[in-house]
A and B are shown apart, each in its own frame.
Chain A
């Protein structure tokens, strides 16, 4: 192929050219804006080089929201295409690319950074720490994720997007059946982002184990911190499998290896096994932090301590363990025989037990409480029944014999949206609204928030409930079109209507941010929700060093006890604080990774080899570098505290 032809889009389409123009204009606008307002220096000093967990959290948040809209546009396009029989809005190839990128973007580039946004912001504050254990690695994690996401997103306009589904099953994803560079993008951009996630996993485990405030024993950690801890434990066990699977897949695609081909001894189902050994724990990586958010929100707005704290902890540990024992249920229909299927059916259904326990514990937390219907609480309340439907349909899917009928149908699509959307998206919106005042020092508008909530909840159900029926009626997933005779038409149209409702809901959230930035009162206390955990004990917005003096803790809800029983949590005497220095290296290294990935995707060997050496050089340099950070003097802290106390 001609050198430049490879960068062209294999399936030109007005929509793709339009997005090309849109991306170009956005980039120009950003560069022009930064230059005009002279913000390059500010951007570099305050954000690109930051190692502050709070700022990294906010950057994760912004990227996650951007990706939410990117994946959301894909979703709308899919529902528009299938809204009527024999529709010609998208052709088969374009539709295949759209559902593939929708899945990858939503799981890897939206949900993952969203949970890391909240973890980054909240966990160090909840455990009374000044930062994470390895602040610079934390910045590297973020930038690797960000560059992976950017690399994946340019695939639409440079060379073509992956089109083999987010599960990317071989041999379909192999060179024989997928000739464009799309799947190369998949392999390398997820790899780069995944390395970032793995680093985060190690970072947070260390942080939570080593940096808790004095007195905070493991069984005194707030529930969100517990879920963050267990989530990162799953990350550390699951992500290496993904790393290896992607590495083998890259070998197959770039170097003609035969790990997953069906000739020369390769095994297509090996990919499926490796993918789901990572992929199933991955869904619990997404859901557990959500459980943590709900535990905090429900307990705060019911004015009650969490019911059954110990069973809650036990059940998340059990879920994390079981999550590794169920991956085979993703291919019950592979012909592995009734014995294997029975075993995995039982382990799968067993997950419903700890999950059910949690649902009842949340209900019992509200019991005898004093429930306030704030926006975060509304999402948490809506989560319970919707997620229950998602959970029970999961048990239905787990029954192997019945799964032979649900497998690969819209029933499955309905099920996992019924778990992931209330389980991750609602939780993240709840967490976002809940911790927003702590992040930015003002609150989001409740009225607009409630409008958005109703559009999202109603729109969600209208979109996904019909899919249970079309699935049982024989509609397979990933079909770009169907004939009128199938009878799938009316329910698919209803789904499209629901999707528009969802889109309006998300647009209202954007409007809410805009509105609140302009009009919301900055004069709020540091604890506007009357909350219970330690992050609310410091100022809003939080100073660089989090807490002027390290808190001392002797209960699960240290801050609540402090408020109710006047138990002191802070020592009076301020001492100098040691903080890490900002660094541009994580950002620069990640940029190198971006170009490295791009070179490999297009098999440009010379730059790929040089950049590999550059990356190794960076690591070698870093291992010899001496950087002891800096100290904040007592005087500085006192001044900051005085200033902030005036505000909050």
Chain B
């Protein structure tokens, strides 16, 4: 037992040393959606810690008190079928905990699936994020520009990502801004995010999609609205337009650096939206109706 506690102690210290330098990305939110999930995670960690500590304490108590070497040779343990009291308690406690966590879950799930809190009044900006082996294409329909493998967004504005894929299922994930969602080739899913603070964040495909999966990342930069508008203007003026031929080439499997275009591929290769394309789970309006 001594070896074990020494081990556990040193283990925790090591972990603190190794991770203490920087906050873990998921628990270092930079937007309301990630903030919500981070809070849920902390609530669950606290609740679960109580259970884990209770089980550890009970186990250690029982093991110490009832170990054979501590007891008289003639001690014969009693036959106990059960106990109404104890059994009621061990049923009731988990039920109560699960009920509480269920309430937290349902509330927060609706929250992260809707326009971010605090941004309900604003018209969200739409960005189409589509993946191909092993790249990300970001189309800004209103701004009429497109980027590859990097994403610029304005801060303090809700953003509605429309996700789909040219190929295997991928998962669009920017841990510091919010949870992930799948991008599939036969339907468009919707992800609501917003950034509170300017900064650079890591974005990646989180769902295994073959050989180039590990490097299937993109860089996210959140900037004030004015700076964003300037960047859009700049792209409109300097970037070459995206043609169908060029886009077809981009879809070939492989890795590319960051690229910028004026115009989007949405005009000549529309996303799999609408009633006739695939099975619409993430419906285009927020009513979350299912059209099968």
- CB-defined contacts of A381 to chain B, threshold 8 Å: 59, 63
Most chain A Cβ neighbours within 10 Å, of B7, B109, B184: B109
**List of 9 A-B pairs having minimum Cβ-Cβ separation, nearest first:** A404-B179, A335-B189, A392-B48, A335-B282, A172-B168, A401-B108, A360-B90, A356-B94, A337-B288
A404 is contacted by which of B58, B167, B180, B212 (Cβ under 8 Å)? B180
Bound complex: CA A381 to CA B67 (Å) = 12
Whole-angstrom distance between the Cβ of A440 and the nearest chain B Cβ: 26
Is B44's CB under 8 angstroms from A402's CB?
yes
Most buried by B among A177, A349, A384, A405: A405
Chain B residue numbers with a CB within 8 Å of A366 are: 62-63, 66
Known: A334-B281, A400-B105. A469 touches B169 (CB 8 A): no
CB of A579 closer than 8 Å to a CB of B: no
Inter-chain CA distance A454–B6, complex, in Å, is 14
Q: Across the interface, do B90 and A356 meet the contact criterion of CB distance under 8 Å?
A: yes
Interface string of B57-99 (1 = CB under 8 A from A): 0110011001110010001111111100011001101110110
Range class of the A interface residue count: 35 or more
B24 within 8 A of A: yes
In the bound complex, do residue A333 and residue B182 qualify as a contact, i.e. CB atoms below 8 Å apart? Answer: yes
Closest beta carbon of chain B to A484's beta carbon, Å? 14
Stretch at the interface among A61-69, A338-346, A519-527: A338-346
Q: Is A364 an interface residue (CB 8 A)?
A: yes
Q: A92-B214, A368-B77 are in contact. Are A334 and B66 (CB under 8 A)?
A: no
* Cα of A472 to Cα of B19 in the assembled complex, Å: 11
CA distance A309 to B83 in the complex (A): 11
Chain A residue numbers with a CB within 8 Å of B181 are: 333-335, 404
A269 contacts the other chain (Cβ, under 8 Å)? yes
Closest Cβ of chain A to B18, distance in Å, is 5
For B211, the chain A residues whose CB sits under 8 A away are: 92-93, 96
Query: Known contacts A303-B77, A353-B91, A370-B68: does B44 contact A491 (CB below 8 Å)?
Result: no
Q: Are the CB atoms of A370 and B25 closer together than 8 Å?
A: no
For residue A240, CB closer than 8 A to chain B, the reply is no
From 169 to 198 in chain B, residues with beta carbon under 8 angstroms from any chain A beta carbon are 169, 171, 173, 175, 178-182, 184-187, 189-190
* A487 to B175 CA separation, bound complex (whole angstroms): 15
Interface stretch among B135-143, B146-154, B200-208, B243-251? B200-208
CA distance A466 to B111 in the complex (A): 30
Interface string of A399-413 (1 = CB under 8 A from B): 111111101110000
A573 within 8 Å of B (CB atoms): no
Distance (whole angstroms) from the CB of B115 to the closest CB of chain A? 13
Docked CA distance A373–B91 (Å): 29
Q: Is A357 a contact of B90 with CB atoms below 8 Å?
A: yes
The reply on B267 being an interface residue by CB < 8 A is: no
- Residues of A at the B interface (CB closer than 8 Å) are 92-93, 96, 163-165, 169, 171-172, 177-178, 262, 267-269, 302-305, 307-311, 331, 333-339, 341-342, 345-346, 349-350, 352-353, 356-357, 359-361, 363-364, 366-373, 381, 384-385, 388-389, 392-393, 395-396, 398-405, 407-409, 454, 458, 461-462, 465-466, 469, 472-474, 476-482, 486-487, 490-491, 494
Give the residue of A305, A310, A334, A363 whose beta carbon is less than 8 angstroms from that of B189: A334
Q: Does B256 contact A (CB under 8 A)?
A: no
Q: Which residues of A contact B101 (CB under 8 A)?
A: 349, 395, 399
Interface size class of B (residues with CB under 8 A): 35 or more
CB distance from B199 to the nearest CB of A (A): 15
Which residue of B41, B82, B108, B182 is within 8 Å of A396 (Cβ)? B41
10 A-B residue contacts at CB 8 Å? Answer: A92-B212, A169-B168, A172-B168, A304-B78, A363-B59, A364-B86, A385-B59, A399-B40, A401-B36, A405-B34
Supposing A172-B208, A357-B94 touch, asked if A401 and B105 sit within 8 A by C-beta, the answer is yes
Known: A361-B90, A404-B181, A405-B175. 19 other contacts (CB 8 A): A92-B211, A165-B208, A171-B169, A267-B186, A302-B66, A311-B87, A333-B171, A335-B182, A336-B281, A337-B282, A345-B105, A346-B106, A363-B58, A371-B62, A399-B44, A401-B40, A409-B206, A491-B19, A494-B18
> Do A333 and B45 contact each other (CB < 8 Å), given the known contacts A357-B94, A384-B55, A402-B40?
no
B117 sits at the interface (CB 8 A): no
B contact residues around A466 at 8 Å (CB): 15, 18
Does the CB pair A388–B208 fall under 8 Å? no
A454 to B68: give the CA distance in the assembly, Å: 21
How many Å from the CB of B273 to the closest CB on chain A? Answer: 13
Q: Are B186 and A268 in contact (CB under 8 A)?
A: yes
Closest to B253 in A: A177
Partner of B82, one of A307, A337, A478: A307
Alpha-carbon distance between A360 and B105 when the two chains are bound, in angstroms: 25
Q: Are B168 and A393 in contact (CB under 8 A)?
A: no
Chain B residues near A171 (CB-CB < 8 A): 167-169, 185
Distance in Å: Cβ of A340 to nearest Cβ of chain B:
8
Instruction: Give the contacting residue for B62; candidates A339, A363, A400, A477; CB below 8 A.
Output: A363
* 94-130 of chain B: CB within 8 A of chain A: 94-95, 97-98, 101-102, 104-106, 108-113
- A interface footprint on B279-290 (CB within 8 Å = 1, 0 otherwise): 101100000101
Q: Which of B11, B67, B180 lies in contact with A405, CB distance below 8 A?
A: B180
Least distance between A163 CB and chain B CB atoms (Å): 8
